[in-house]
Amino acid sequence: MRAIGQLRTFFRTNGELTVGQTRRRYLLHVPEGLDPGRAVPLVVVIHGFMQSPAHQAEMSRWDELADDAGLITVYPMGTGVPLRWAAHEPAASSTLTRDHVDFIRQLVATICAAYTIDPGRIYACGMSNGGGLACALACELPDVFAAIGSVAGLYTYPPDRPTGGRPVPLIAFHGALDRIVPIGGGVRRLSYDVPAVADWMDAYARRCGCTIRADEHLSDSLDVVQYSGAPDDVEVIWYTLREGGHTWPGGIPLPEVITGPTSDAIDATRVMWEFFTRHARD
């Protein structure tokens, strides 16, 4: 019975909507005491392959930040068994990508219709396969999202195919000890080749119009690459956790034997939010 209860908690959701002919589910967190007359930010937090909305919420601690900062968080649920996202090809050529992009767009519209959301402060972030979808959303829905975040992202979406619209700022975190999505690439995941993170970030930064790259060694356990020089001060930033695996830095640790160590050299959720607050969409 305990195992059944844990399984129900893992797949816990509290909202659903229909996209096309498919029922899609999500987990919504609205902090108590929000002023209904004040427009607040919305953060869409996307789980990884084989994970769930409830697990993503627990691991990342986004709801704790939401309660402190006064924002709404929502965790969409993927499809398939195990749960996953299609974020490997542009929506124009992939019905699978388009289905997930349409779900996220409709999910944001549904929450905006029910709550007072600041349309210029809507953000998305994700872990692993979910981080890959978040980056795809930057290319597919620049009219929706002001900035994007990714942790241990699976970057199979081509970053150099412009789809129009404004460039979307991006912040990312990657563990040097990640064996599932290696920082140097060179493997295949979900039937797609995984590029080196540096190559993908370079390409995305060029897409955003960045002309300056600065590499900095922050500590024995943390390095950062910052791209700048783009119009409208668009930033692209990515951190390397030298002692991090396929995990959420500063979050609840995952089983180390599977994912590698969880680094506490930086709090990805808090730093991501600080980045988001610098970027609002006109």
Q: What structural domains does the chain harbor? A: 22-277 (3.40.50.1820)
**pLDDT above 90 covers what percent of the chain?**
88
CA dihedral 202, 204, 206, 210 (to 10 degrees): -90
What is the residue-averaged pLDDT of the chain?
A: 93
**pLDDT above 70 covers what percent of the chain?**
95
pLDDT tens digits, residue range 52-98? 999 999 999 999 999 999 999 999 999 999 999 999 999 999 999 99
pLDDT over threshold 80, residue 129: yes
pLDDT of residue 184: 97
pLDDT of residue 258: 94
Question: Which of helix, strand or coil describes residue 149?
Answer: strand
pTM greater than 0.85: yes
Contacts of 214 (CB under 8 A, 6+ apart): 225, 226, 227, 228
pLDDT of residue 1: 37
Question: Which of helix, strand or coil describes residue 248?
Answer: coil
Residue range 195-224: average pLDDT?
96
Q: What does the alpha-carbon distance between residue 168 and residue 165 come to, in Å, rounded to a whole number? A: 9
Q: Determine contact, residues 279/146, Cβ cutoff 8 Å.
A: yes
Q: What are the backbone dihedrals phi and psi of residue 278, each rounded to the nearest 5 degrees, phi first?
A: -85, -10
Lookup result for tokens 């930040």? 65
Band of residue 4 on the pLDDT scale cut at 50, 70, 90 = very low
Question: Which of helix, strand or coil describes residue 105?
Answer: helix
pLDDT tens digits, residue range 136-177? 999 999 999 999 999 999 999 998 765 567 899 999 999 999
pLDDT of residue 164: 62
Q: What does the alpha-carbon distance between residue 116 and residue 103 come to, in Å, rounded to a whole number? A: 20
Exposure string over 195-220, b if 16+ CB within 10 A, otherwise e: bebbebbbbbbbbbebeebeeeeeee
Q: Determine contact, residues 229/215, Cβ cutoff 8 Å.
A: no
